[in-house]
Structure 1
Amino acid sequence: MSKRKLSTPLSTFTRKCLTSIAPFSPFKSSPTLKRCTYISSPPPPITPYHRLLHDPSYCSLGNLRASVKSVSSVSSRKIESGCWNCHAMPESAPFLVCQSCRSIQPVDISVDYFDIFGLEKNYDIEVKNLEGKYKNWQKKLHPDLVHSKSEKERDFAAEQSAKVIDAYRTLTRPLSRAIYLLKLEGIEVDEEQTVSEPELLSEILEIREAVEEATDSEDLNHILSEMQEKLRHWSTVFANAFKSRNFEEAKSSIQRMTYYERVTDEVAKKL
């Protein structure tokens, strides 16, 4: 395949079906990921906890959530008092674990993902600094480490651990981080919305066609490089739009990032 600029006349648009392009959803966990399990006896030398510390993608967030589905939603609340066990007041935020008696606290619905990692609610963050904080939380919250505690506290640990995993996965990816920031502003992004701009649709169809026709790694890497450049560009556009509170432009940027990231994933599967 020749190294051509990925653009095409609008005629391409008429050859394809709008519904053939499904946007990428950053919050869907792969069904093939191994499920975390709870144990009632001391953990063996290698446990899901140890795998999770070194590979957050090992544990399916969807499966972890399913395993705690039976926990009463009453435990999720806004914390307005002290520790449920010793009644000590929080020494610092977020209040996930009591600093006095070390009891794990119920999920506080007022604590967002940025609070968990001690970050300002900004799009531009130092992603590399999240891993250490993530591991520290899992050392305190992961269900494998609280098997000897009461059922009530094990339930709290399962909920808190699931929220920390969700927070880590969301904030480490530019697209999901952008969507989450708008959600905090009360703006929901419809990830299933079909492209309505002919120029963008034409470009996306051309890119997908190029991926299908690629026959070697050189062609695929060329496409991948272009997609990464486009993602960086629209990531910057989103950051500027969010800072200026131009939420319509921010949503438009997310739509483009969604499609470019999906193409990136398709290319990675073929490499």
Structure 2
Amino acid sequence: MLSLNSLRILCSSRAALHPNWLMTNRVSVFKAVTCSTHWTSTSFPNKDTWHCDVNSRAPVKDRGLTYSTKQANSPRSYCTGQIKQNCWNCKQSLDKAQAFFCVSCNAVQPPEEGASYFKIMDCDCTFALDTKKLQKRYLQLQRSLHPDNFSQKSMKEQEYSESQSSLVNKAYKTLHKPLSRGLYMLELEGMSIEEGTDSGADAEFLMELMEINEALDEAQTPEETNKIAQDTKGKLADLTERTDAALRKGDFQTAKALLAQMKYHANIEEKVKEKLSQFM
């Protein structure tokens, strides 16, 4: 297999002889960059990581983001509205939009079907949410819903507390970081991450990623590695700001493209952490 440096020289020489070569062969370049990639993010709903394995996955040209509309699960209704429910234990009406406990008998309730993570965590349905408020809400809910609090309760309440606690954990992990939060917001709009489709990343961006990965591989000191870390942090901050602006305007296609770039840089950020740990 060619090294990144050899591949870079090959790409540069062919591009010089044939100006259109890089664009027409961007899928091959993309494969070289991403087949060593370990995606670190939050997936929905089951996994927290993406892995690339050339022996078990579809061709790289078939990976990326696709758009689909799901009318049956209207995402905007997840953030607003109240559904009247009754307590399973005492049958009294539950007045709160997201009632974890019955106000009459104090029995823990089952998770509300279809409730968004924003609703569960009592947050505004926005990309630029207050993470301090989110963390405070998380700690509050976990203190009250932790299964240890229901060891002497009925099996039904123990089951409900475990379900609610697990759901709160998942909601917090998803909303806490900008990347996973943005991907979740796209999912609420019917846009999803699909493996096996073209990501749409252009050749110039892929070449930039190759150079960063190459520099990281060749870094010999913590100082060199930290320089890459700071550059990556700056790129992620810029992408986060631009994604927020796009989502505020309702420009989900632009937000999708920006979040795709964030995934690449988030992966580099994780590789930087691994590299720094080697110097300790």
Give the TM-score band, short-chain normalised.
Answer: 0.7 to 0.9
The aligned residue for residue 24 of structure 1 is: 40
The aligned residue for residue 190 of structure 2 is: 186
**Under a length normalisation based on structure 2, what TM-score does the superposition of the two structures give?**
0.71
Amino acid at match of 2:39: P
Moved over 6 A (4+): 12-16
Amino acid at match of 2:12: S
Q: 1:104 to 1:80 in 2, by over 3 A?
A: same
**Under a length normalisation based on structure 1, what TM-score does the superposition of the two structures give?**
0.73
Deviations 1:81-115 (A, max 9, x none): 21111122224231122122111111112321111
Whole-angstrom CA distance in 1 between matches of 2:195 and 2:129: 23
The aligned residue for residue 141 of structure 1 is: 145
Which structure's residues are more often strand, by fraction?
2
Give the counterpart of 1:265 among 265, 270, 273.
270
Where do 5+ consecutive residues of structure 1 fail to align?
1-7, 31-77
Whole-angstrom CA distance in 1 between matches of 2:267 and 2:151: 39
Q: How far did 1:208 drift? A: 0.9
Count how many residue pairs are aligned between Structure 1 and Structure 2.
Answer: 217
Larger radius of gyration: 2
- Taking the TM superposition and a 5 Å limit, the aligned residue runs for 1:205-244 are 205-244=210-249
Q: How far did 1:192 drift? A: 6.4
The aligned residue for residue 73 of structure 1 is: none
1:251 paired with 2:256, answer yes
Give the counterpart of 1:171 among 160, 172, 175.
175
Whole-angstrom CA distance in 2 between matches of 1:224 and 1:118: 33
Amino acid at match of 2:218: E
Q: How far did 1:22 drift? A: 4.3
Deviations 1:197-253 (A, max 9, x none): 111111111111111111111111110111111111111111111122211111100
* Identical positions, percent: 33
Q: 1:178 to 1:228 in 2, by over 3 A?
A: same
Q: How far did 1:24 drift? A: 3.0
Are the equivalent residues in 2 in contact too, given 1:25–1:191 (CA < 8 A)?
Answer: no
